[in-house]
Structure 1
Amino acid sequence: MAQQGQDWSVAGWNKAKSGGRIGNESKEAALNRARRAGNVVTEVKVNGLANKSAHVPTANMRKLDEDTENFKHDTVDRSLSQALMKARMDKGMTQKALATAINEKPQVIGEYESGKAIPNGQIIVKIERALGCRLPRGPKKKR
């Protein structure tokens, strides 16, 4: 019987660093050495923009940073909160029922009705769909 699939040679590990580095040379130093020798063509950053949105400030944050006088967010207009209450009562829904219909917390509906919420277009559109009516938007802000 032949033992062709068996390899009885000694296998070991080498403690030398791979990647063409010499001794304690940093990655940057190794790249500079390779550039001088003409061995490096390009360097590609893998997954460099994978989670860019988590670190990019939004337009509202920039506006708040630039604004030196007013340190408050805009809240929903009084007409919107009153129209929301009226439409919800006409439909015979509680705040909790409306919140479950739009997949939000009941506190969100309470904030919109009390006028303390920061307006979010997506939430307002969800509320309009659930109630079957159009809610008034606040006046356009001057820049």
Structure 2
Amino acid sequence: MSSRNPGSITQDWDTVVLHKSKPKTQDLRDPKAVNQALRSGAQVQTVKKFDAGSNKRTPSTAVNARKLDEAGEPAALDRVSAEVRQAIQKARIEKKLSQAELAKQINERPQVVQEYENGKAVPNQAVLAKMERVLGVKLRGLKHK
């Protein structure tokens, strides 16, 4: 083991100060830098880009607005026809399923089955296909109102 001389070990107690270097040119995209430049009297050049800050497409919105004006009354959505409603209800009762059990088998909420049977639902082909598979009846080819 070597012996160390306590006097030979020195500690440097000078403080080290780190300064952030400022960028050589100010970024004038920063609103604070622009305001500071304006306050100091420096010239600031602004360039407005064509159609900047606009997310609207004026031609298509004008066309859509015109179509809405010409249409007058909003078109009513098609609802499930009486024929489809009765077919769902009849097949579900024959299979001895409740609305909740049918909903569980087709991976939908019970409210969806209830709306289909009450005629309040807007027909969705995917939901009708799942009901056809579980109930074993044809629902998608039936005539609507």
TM-score (ref. length: structure 1)? 0.53
* Residues paired across the two proteins, number: 93
Is 1:107–2:111 an aligned residue pair?
yes
Q: 1:101 to 1:25 in 2, by over 3 A?
A: same
Q: 1:75 to 1:10 in 2, by over 3 A?
A: same
Shift of 1:70: 3.4
Is 1:135–2:139 an aligned residue pair?
yes
Q: Deviations over 1:80-128 (max 9, x none)?
A: 1110001111111110000000111111000000100011111111111
Shift of 1:76: 1.0
Structure 2: segments with no counterpart, 5+ residues: 1-15, 31-63
User: What corresponds to 1:44 in structure 2?
Assistant: none
User: What corresponds to 1:90 in structure 2?
Assistant: 94
Shift of 1:71: 4.2
Q: 1:71 to 1:23 in 2, by over 3 A?
A: same
CA distance in 2, matches of 1:122, 1:85: 18
User: What corresponds to 1:43 in structure 2?
Assistant: none
Is 1:16–2:19 an aligned residue pair?
no
SS at 2:131 equivalent:
helix
User: What corresponds to 1:26 in structure 2?
Assistant: 29
The higher radius of gyration belongs to 2
Please, which moves more after superposition, 131-140 or 74-83? 131-140
User: What corresponds to 1:122 in structure 2?
Assistant: 126
User: What corresponds to 1:69 in structure 2?
Assistant: 73
Q: In angstroms, what is the RMSD of aligned CA positions?
A: 3.0
Q: 1:105 to 1:140 in 2, by over 3 A?
A: closer
* Counterpart contact for 1:76–1:117, Cα < 8 Å: yes
TM-score (ref. length: structure 2)? 0.52
* Counterpart contact for 2:80–2:144, Cα < 8 Å: no
- Percentage of pairs with the same residue: 39
Query: What amino acid maps onto 2:73 in structure 1?
Result: E
